[in-house]
């Protein structure tokens, strides 16, 4: 049988015209996704309606998934649930995923789009630690080597991760946090800092307006896991001469959209109220 991969190295997209089995697989996966999203179980009629299939076709596909352990049927309540095999496959993904590996191509794409330095960072011990950086080609650019640490209160990533922390985790961290001044723009008042976090959550992105270093501005967006928890942040940083007020909203939208793609590719989900700039 001939190799279906074309000369450019990209696998050809299967179509329903070329293989009826592919169409069946797509339908089965959509059914599985709807069953998973339902959480508390779903009836046959409801799941069939959601994917736009006749009830008989949905039942046939679900029965096949049930035989393979990907779904299970509760006869007493006449509801379909996710099966143990789906859990096993999901755990294999969780063990294999690597945030830096997932994020890096999208970080590079963002750098190419805006020609500013892009960073990936997480919270560690009440500080921000950088995991990866894609440098821009500009003569003047921000540098942060992997492993470098910065205080949360003076960084865009730090503030956005704090803003999306649950109150039970945020409150004790804020209580012991020292709001050290680095520049005239650093926020050192606790009331003002708390209001800033509320604003960041409403906006959906964090910002550093020359708060850690004079002349450097940053914008950051959160990356979420499957529990809708902010586990990391992607940021864009550059000199204030290029990251201007006029350009800021546009850059914020770029960073948010990139973070949203990384979240999806990492298997995460954004909170319902998360907003992305147009």
- Selected from 3.40.50.2300, 3.30.9.10, 3.40.1160.10, 1.10.10.10, the CATH number assigned to the domain covering 20-94 reads 1.10.10.10
Half-sphere exposure of 57 (CA within 13 A, CB side): 14
> What is the model's pLDDT at position 145?
67
d(CA 177, CA 150): 13
d(CA 99, CA 258): 14
pTM of the model: 0.66
> What is the model's pLDDT at position 270?
87
> What is the model's pLDDT at position 4?
39
Read off the DSSP letter of residue 155. S
> What is the model's pLDDT at position 84?
86
Return the domain boundaries, the chain: 20-94, 97-265
> What is the model's pLDDT at position 254?
93
pLDDT digits (tens, 9 = 90+) for 43-79: 999 999 999 999 999 999 999 999 999 999 998 889 9
CB 230 within 8 A of CB 273: no
Topology of the domain comprising 97-265 = Beta-Lactamase (3.30.450)
Contacts of 134 (CB under 8 A, 6+ apart): 104, 107, 108, 110, 111, 117, 118, 119
Residues of the chain with pLDDT under 70: 1-21, 91-97, 139-145, 277-278
- Run of H or E residues at 100: helix 99-114
Phi, psi (5° rounding) for residue 124?
Answer: -150, 115
Q: What share of the chain is helix, strand, coil (3-state, %, to 5)?
A: 45, 20, 35
């Amino acid at each position: 049988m001939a190799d279906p991969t074309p000369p450019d190295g990209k696998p050809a997209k299967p179509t329903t015209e070329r293989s009826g089995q592919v169409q069946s697989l797509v339908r089965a996966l959509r059914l599985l996704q709807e069953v998973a999203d339902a959480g508390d179980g779903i009836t046959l009629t409801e799941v069939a309606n959601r994917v736009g299939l006749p009830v008989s076709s949905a039942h046939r596909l679900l029965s096949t998934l049930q035989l393979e352990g990907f779904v299970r049927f509760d006869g007493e309540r006449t509801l379909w649930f996710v099966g143990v095999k789906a859990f096993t496959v999901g755990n294999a993904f969780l063990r294999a995923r690597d945030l830096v590996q997932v994020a890096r191509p999208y970080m590079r794409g963002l750098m190419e789009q805006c020609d500013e330095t892009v960073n990936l960072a997480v919270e560690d011990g009440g500080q921000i630690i950088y995991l990866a950086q894609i440098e821009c080609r500009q003569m003047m650019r921000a540098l942060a080597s992997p492993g470098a640490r910065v205080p949360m209160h003076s960084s865009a990533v730090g503030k956005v991760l704090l803003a999306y922390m649950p109150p039970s985790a945020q409150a004790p961290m804020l209580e012991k946090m020292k709001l050290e001044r680095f520049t005239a723009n650093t926020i050192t008042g606790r009331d003002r800092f708390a209001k800033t976090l509320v604003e960041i959550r409403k906006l959906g992105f964090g910002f550093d307006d020359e708060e850690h270093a004079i002349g450097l501005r940053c914008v950051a967006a959160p990356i979420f896991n499957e529990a809708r928890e902010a586990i990391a942040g992607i940021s864009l940083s550059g000199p204030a001469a290029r990251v201007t007020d006029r350009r800021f909203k546009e850059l914020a939208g770029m960073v948010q959209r990139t973070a949203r793609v990384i979240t999806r590719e990492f298997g995460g989900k954004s909170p319902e109220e998360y907003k992305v700039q147009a």
